[in-house]
């Protein structure tokens, strides 16, 4: 249990501050100073601890999935066809970074839905834990259980720890209504992720 806790702590604390000079810097600054969640920046990287997995190429069909959700029914990529979809992988429910990320996506959920986009969170947590997590934080988007980490692996988002198991690394993807992967985020800051992804989503939906 102690080893598991250490590994999950390392995985869940991955925070990258790479958007300081972005056009959405004012929004990021506002979020950074908000009380929605507080995550201390970390210089640690999973790249130094675990093998790096390649992400699926952008502008190719997104890897399919069909996973049980917190509601008890399955959610598949096919069932999301015709909609823009944000799929974000996170290590473990109720940890600091994952809670922060989920709260921020919930805070911005109406904005995403206003553009016709669905949000889907995926981790290796069991369905029962996802139900508790969703209820406690009032989340209105589906959380899927990738218990064996197969979908996380297909998205280059799996961390395999010998003798402990497979966990989802924090990575985010934007998929268009045709099921094509349009953008991927390898280094994800849980506090800023939803703002950065929403800005990119609008850019993809309204190309110049």
Residue 66 DSSP SS3: strand
pLDDT for 114-159, tens place per residue?
999 999 999 999 999 999 999 999 999 999 999 999 999 999 999 9
98 counts as catalytic: yes
Give the model's pLDDT for residue 36.
54
Q: Which residue has the tokens 């979809």?
A: 85
What is the structure's pLDDT at 160? 87
- Alpha helices (H) along 78-191: 96-107, 109-114, 127-137, 150-154
Q: Which one from 37, 98, 100, 117 is the annotated catalytic residue?
A: 98
The residue whose two tokens read 């003798």 is 163
Residue 19 has pLDDT above 50, yes or no: no
Q: What is the pLDDT of residue 53?
A: 82
Task: List, in order, residues 6 or more apart from 46 with CB less than 8 Å away.
Answer: 10, 11, 14, 159, 169
Could you read off the pLDDT of 147-193 as tens digits, one per residue? 999 999 999 999 988 888 899 999 999 999 999 999 999 989 999 99
| Cα–Cα distance measured from residue 145 to residue 69, given in angstroms and rounded to the nearest whole number | 6
Which band of pLDDT confidence, cut at 50, 70 and 90, is reported for residue 63?
A: very high
- Rounded to 5 degrees, φ, ψ at 23 are -60, -20
């Amino acid at each position: 249990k102690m080893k598991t806790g250490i590994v999950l702590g390392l995985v869940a604390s991955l925070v990258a501050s790479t958007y300081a000079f972005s056009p959405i810097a004012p929004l990021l600054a506002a979020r950074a100073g908000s009380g929605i969640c507080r995550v201390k920046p970390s210089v640690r990287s999973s790249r130094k601890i675990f093998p790096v997995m390649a992400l699926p190429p952008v502008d190719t069909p997104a890897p399919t999935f069909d996973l049980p959700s917190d509601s008890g029914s399955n959610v598949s990529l096919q069932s999301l066809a015709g909609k823009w979809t944000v799929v974000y992988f996170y290590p473990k429910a109720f940890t600091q970074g994952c809670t922060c990320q989920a709260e921020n996506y919930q805070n911005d959920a109406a904005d995403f839905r206003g553009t016709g986009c669905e949000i889907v969170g995926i981790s290796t947590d069991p369905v029962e834990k996802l139900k508790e997590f969703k209820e406690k934080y009032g989340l209105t988007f589906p959380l899927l259980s990738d218990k064996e980490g197969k979908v996380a692996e297909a998205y280059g988002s799996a961390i395999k720890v010998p003798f402990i198991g497979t966990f989802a690394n924090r990575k985010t993807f934007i998929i268009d209504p045709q099921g094509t992967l349009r953008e991927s985020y390898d280094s994800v800051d849980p506090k800023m992720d939803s703002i950065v992804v929403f800005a990119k989503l609008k850019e993809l939906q309204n190309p110049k």
